[in-house]
Every structure is written in C-alpha cells, then in structure tokens.
Amino acid sequence: MKMSSKAILGLAVCSALGLASTAEASLIIDLRAVSASSANTTIANAGKTVSITSSSLNDTVTFDVFAEILGPGGTGGVYGLTSAWGAFVVPGNTSTTKGTFDDNGAALVANASLTGVGITPWNANGSQVGLKQDIYGNGNTDLGQDATVGAVVSANFVAMIASAIQTSGWNAISGGVEQKIGSVTFKVTTVGANGTDTPVNFLPRTNSSGGALNTAALWKEDTNSSRNPTLASYAAGTAVQIHVGGVVVTNDTVQLASTSSGAVQVTEGSGPFDNNYPTGPGAPPNPVAVGTAGTGSASGSLAINDLVSTGDVYVLVHLTGGKTLANLTHLPGGVTAVDLTSSSFLNANVDWKGLMNAYGNFANVGFKFSNAPGGTANNFFQWDLSADSAAIDQIVAVPEPASLGLAAFGGLALLMRRRRSAK
C-alpha cells in the first residue's frame, strides 16, 4: 500500500504532537514514566503523569520505552521489530519546567562496549544514544535530532537496533502487541509555575520535510513481513505530562494540587461555606465536617483560596479512631506533618499553637506546605490515607496565616467560641 503525501504529512503531524491514532498507526513508540529518584516526584496515570514540586529540583525520572505494533492479525498476529530511530524531546518554543534527557546506562545490559538507549537486543551494532542538544531553544536538553530542525546528521539521532528482527517476547494488547525496547532518564533542572504541564515524548525520525523516511524504522506486522514508515504509520504514543501541582505521596497521599473534581468548597468570599467565616473576610473558617461523624473519610479533597500571592498553607485535621501522626507511616519528605497532640511541640511553635487556639483545639495532625501558589484561583488539599487505615472527620485549611497575624488568631479564639455557642 502506497500512502498519499497528505496521509504521510498527517501522520508526521500526529507523531510530532504525540497524537497517534491506534486505528491507523502500526508502529508506535510509547514513553512511560516508571520511577523517580525521590518521593518528591510521583508517577500516576499508567506512567503518563509525573507530578513534581519545588522539592523535585534535580530529581531524575526514569522512562521505559515501549514498541507497540498493531496489525490486521490483532492479538493473534505475528509481529517483530528490528529498528526504531528518533529523539526524546520537550517540544515547543517554551516550557516552564525544564530538564535533561539522557540514556539510562543501568539498563544497557548487553555488550558493555556498545552504547544506546535500547535494551537487549535493541542495542546491537549501529545503535546510538544520539546527540544531547536543545533542539527547540526552550532551555531543555533533548536527546537526538528533529530532522526538520537544522542540518540532518545521522549520528545525532537515537537509534534502537537489533541484529535481526525480534519476533519473541511480545505481550498482547488491544489490536496488537507491545514490548519494552529501551530506557531513558530525564533530570529536572527547573521547576515551573504551579499548575503548569510540560509534555515530554519520543519523536520518530522523518525526512527533512517532516515526511516518512523508509530507514527510520523496520518491523513485521502480522502477514506484512517488512514494514517501514513509507508503507505504514510510524508514530509516537501519548506524551507524558510533567505536572507542577504540589506535594504528592504515593501510598498515603497528601497533595496541594491545582485542580480537583468533587472537592468540598471552602474558599473565602464565595461558595456554600461562606458562613464558616464568622468574623468576616480574612477570618478563619470553622472546621469542615468530612464523611460520617466519628468515622470520617479515608480520602477526599478540600478547596483552598490563598489570601496573598505566596507563603505557607496550614492544614489542620482530626484523625478518627484514636489515630495520630504516628500511624501515618507512608508520609515522605516534601510535606511537613506535625503532631498537634504534643504540648511540648505546640509550646515551641507559636504558629501552630495560635491556630489550635483559634480552632478550639479540634485537630490532632497538621500539614504545612511551603511556597504555596497564591491568588484567587482555587487550589486543593487532597488526601488518601487508606494505606494506613486512617480517616479524617474534620478539616480546615488556613492560607497564609502570617498575613492575618498569629496574634489575631489567638485573639479570635474566644470570640469564635462565643459565636459558635450562640448558634
């Protein structure tokens, strides 16, 4: 089957944007995040979302590189792969989060004299890591070359090459098969603005005009024994998004995120909980009940509206069932968690003591997020404590308490208790 120039151009555009169509694509190179060097950086959505915080600077994310081959034989077809050329890139002219792609040397387990991104057997003679360069001038270090940018140099491309077509080791997926063929890393060198997403992806090699190149990949697709990008589609999978969204914990989950659905709304000045601000704008709200009294909820989210542009957000919670901070065994670095039942801690920390006084000492655990995003846009405190069989039945978030004055918090405590008693 010979493809028209329009079809080839369309496929090239899809490849560049990571918009592969599984109905048309027969070879897809898919990038999936699998691990990070610290708990400040977490992975979700089957490796397609990497969440980072300000504490993620210099963290390294490891990605697996998968080849997906789709064909008329579906999962029962006979498939194979010999080679795939391209680059690993942060596309576009600008990006707020920046980093450096590199080969994952630890994954190159075959002949130590050979280098490349591919793992055995796709690191045979002819394989190459590719050139580390900022292809698009956006402050990132990409790995490989975009054939449409600058002079084409074959040695600049990433090449994952086997000595012969590999037809074993494939796992069935919808419409075809897949197999891991390589591994790369991405080191975070700049953490972008909160709430932003930066895409990273594989870019299949093309010709200098962005059209299909017959030497860019070679594979077997069921009864079609020899396929290349001029005979069938060669594309990238969905891009991985590097999201700046606050603290995320993989087991017990506590995060300050930029978006959420179904959250309890407690923003000051609007929403169903306006009456929780008994002393007017800027005053702390009453604790919000979560779930059933005494039982609470193991997971949920709470909307937050910062009062000023930058600073800290304090979250006070009451764990049910006699649980305390000591029972939350999965909390990592990147979030400050404190025991609000400790009188010695409260006496030594006037900020927390002032907040406890203001809220009638309902809480037994506190969380503090530094450099929280500010302004009028809602943020969300989200939690999932199911890994430790813990639950929250009361919660309150205090954006920028320093901007209100801790002395004012202490002074408000008696007034707030009187108003509550009067209700």
Show the domain range for 357.
253-422
Instruction: Name the pLDDT band for 33 (thresholds 50, 70, 90).
Output: very high
**Digit-coded pLDDT (tens) for 219-239:** 998 766 789 999 999 999 999
For position 244, what pLDDT does the model report? Answer: 79
Distance in angstroms (rounded) separating the CA atoms of residues 160 and 126: 8
Q: Provide the number of structural domains found in the chain.
A: 2
Mean pLDDT throughout 409-421?
A: 36
Is residue 27 domain-shared with residue 139, that is, in the same domain?
Answer: yes
Instruction: Name the pLDDT band for 275 (thresholds 50, 70, 90).
Output: very low
Contact between residue 284 and residue 419 where contact means Cβ atoms under 8 Å apart: no
Pairing of strands 49-52, 240-244: parallel
Is residue 288 domain-shared with residue 321, that is, in the same domain?
Answer: yes
5-19, 47-61, 128-142, 185-199: lowest mean pLDDT where?
5-19
Is residue 217 domain-shared with residue 342, that is, in the same domain?
Answer: no
Is residue 196 domain-shared with residue 57, that is, in the same domain?
Answer: yes
Is residue 234 domain-shared with residue 263, that is, in the same domain?
Answer: no
Q: Note the Cα 394 to chain centre separation in Å.
A: 29
Count of alpha carbons within 13 Å of 288, Cβ hemisphere only? Answer: 28
Is residue 175 domain-shared with residue 274, that is, in the same domain?
Answer: no
Q: Which residue is it, tokens 């990238």? A: 236
**Paired residues of 40 in beta bridges:** none
Is residue 188 domain-shared with residue 266, that is, in the same domain?
Answer: no
Is residue 271 domain-shared with residue 418, that is, in the same domain?
Answer: yes
Instruction: Name the pLDDT band for 24 (thresholds 50, 70, 90).
Output: very low
What size, in residues, is the chain?
423
Mean pLDDT throughout 114-125?
A: 76
Is residue 235 domain-shared with residue 303, that is, in the same domain?
Answer: no
Is residue 343 domain-shared with residue 211, that is, in the same domain?
Answer: no
Is residue 339 domain-shared with residue 239, that is, in the same domain?
Answer: no
Q: Which of 193, 218, 244 is the last residue of a domain?
A: 244
Is residue 208 domain-shared with residue 284, that is, in the same domain?
Answer: no
Q: Which of 244, 278, 312 is the last residue of a domain?
A: 244
pTM score, two decimals?
0.57
Q: Which of 209, 244, 279 is the last residue of a domain?
A: 244
* pLDDT of 421 above 70: no
